[in-house]
């Protein structure tokens, strides 16, 4: 059976996200392992375009990107080296009102030796709770992660993440992982959202693991007093809280690049990264929107605007191509 490139890409992503082994997943999909690894190698070498069936292509195509836009994309990539081709494509489209695809950006960077292969993890934890939220402030995930500050010892970051939008609602750098630290972070989240001042039918449900601070009577009393319900993940199953685990990984990939000698120094770097994460970082799972775009309800407007930009850009490229072809025909 022949698969189009889009289906091959979806199969690769499905294997990525599967909680089963590669062999088991491919068996269920009825795809031979050698076929899958051939697709994977082509994807790693040439991105999504590498998955296309090889066939002759015309030397000149109408959809080519003008040289000035190519140069601008490369300049943006050099200015923002941490951004992936997907993030660069979304940012360029939004900032310049000119559509470029992820595969186009990938090809441009590959040609300039600015990228070697997609940032790719073959198997990763599921990031979706079995009862996913359908609106902001419906479900909050919370967890601790830790840092060592030279000369000061261990500090613990308590975070409240909105499940629907991935927006970091509140965070605190603590010296312990106690129920009172969790309650203080929740106080910050309720204050930020205004849910401590208004009456709503349902306050956010809290999703945690089974750590001592989360199963304590102190936290249970706090949640009851504030009208919140509590859901705990299955023991030894971190996939339940995949979104906050992913947040920890993304954050530490940046924050742990430096050594910290003062708590205030770490706090400052955390604040900068969280602002970037909430307001600038495009998430593939959010249709290349930022958490703030989704949390504040402007996501659909941005997606509609991008679709308009895409249609206008493609129409402009097509017109330029045929105008140039007609001019060459008249000159000959």
Q: What is the pLDDT along the chain (332 residues), one digit of tens a residue?
A: 678 887 888 888 888 877 788 888 888 888 888 898 998 988 888 888 888 887 655 555 667 888 999 999 999 999 988 888 999 999 999 999 999 998 889 889 888 888 754 444 433 434 455 567 899 999 999 999 999 998 999 999 999 999 999 999 999 999 999 999 999 999 999 999 999 988 888 899 999 999 999 999 999 999 999 999 999 987 655 556 789 999 999 898 888 767 888 999 999 999 999 999 999 999 988 999 999 999 999 999 999 999 999 999 988 888 887 887 777 767 65
pLDDT value of residue 10: 81
Sign of CA dihedral 59, 65, 68, 70: negative
Partners of residue 153 on adjacent β-strands: 149
pLDDT, position 68? 92
Q: Is 329 exposed, middle or buried (0-12, 13-18, 19+ CB in 10 A)?
A: exposed
d(CA 214, CA 177): 10
CA distance 146 to 200: 34
Note the pLDDT of residue 304: 95
Element (DSSP H or E) covering residue 193: helix 179-193
Domain ranges of the chain: 5-51, 67-120+299-331, 139-286
Contact 168, 277 (CB under 8 A): yes
Place of tokens 């017109």: 319
Contact predicate 190/196, CB 8 Å: yes
In CATH terms, the fold of domain 139-286 is Nucleotidyltransferase; domain 5 (3.30.420)
pLDDT of residue 123: 36
At residue 140, the 3 state secondary structure works out as strand
Provide the pLDDT for residue 225: 95
Neighbours of 121 (CB within 10 A): 9
Neighbours of 294 (CB within 10 A): 21
pLDDT of residue 255: 86
CB within 8 Å of 124: residues ≥ 6 apart? 16, 17
């Amino acid at each position: 059976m022949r698969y189009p490139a889009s289906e091959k890409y979806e199969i690769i992503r499905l294997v990525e996200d599967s909680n089963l082994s590669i062999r088991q997943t491919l068996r269920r999909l009825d795809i031979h392992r050698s076929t899958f690894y051939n697709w994977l190698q082509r994807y790693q070498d040439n991105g999504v375009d590498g998955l296309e069936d090889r066939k002759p292509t015309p030397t000149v195509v109408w959809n080519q990107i003008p040289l000035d836009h190519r140069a601008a994309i490369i300049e943006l990539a050099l200015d923002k080296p941490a951004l992936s081709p997907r993030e660069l494509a979304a940012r360029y489209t939004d900032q310049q009102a000119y559509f470029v695809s992820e595969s186009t950006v990938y090809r441009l960077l590959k040609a300039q030796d600015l990228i070697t292969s997609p940032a790719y993890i073959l198997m990763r934890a599921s990031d979706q709770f079995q009862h996913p939220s359908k609106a902001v402030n419906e479900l909050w995930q919370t967890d601790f992660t830790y840092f060592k500050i030279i000369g000061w010892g261990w500090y613990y970051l308590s975070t409240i993440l909105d499940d629907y939008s991935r927006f970091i609602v509140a965070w605190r750098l603590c010296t312990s992982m106690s129920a009172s630290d969790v309650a203080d972070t929740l106080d910050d989240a309720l204050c930020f959202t205004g849910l401590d001042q208004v009456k709503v039918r349902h306050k956010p449900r809290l999703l945690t693991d089974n750590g001592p601070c989360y199963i304590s009577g102190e936290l249970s009393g706090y949640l009851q007093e504030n009208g919140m319900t509590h859901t705990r993940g299955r023991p030894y199953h971190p996939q339940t809280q995949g979104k906050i685990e992913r947040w920890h990984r993304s954050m530490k990939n940046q924050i742990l690049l430096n050594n910290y000698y003062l708590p205030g120094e770490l706090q400052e770097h955390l604040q900068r990264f969280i602002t970037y994460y909430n307001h600038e970082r495009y998430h593939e799972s959010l249709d290349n929107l930022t958490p703030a775009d989704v949390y504040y309800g402007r996501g659909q407007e941005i997606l509609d605007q991008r679709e308009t930009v895409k249609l206008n850009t493609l129409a402009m490229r097509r017109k330029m191509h045929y105008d140039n072809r007609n001019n060459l025909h008249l000159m000959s």
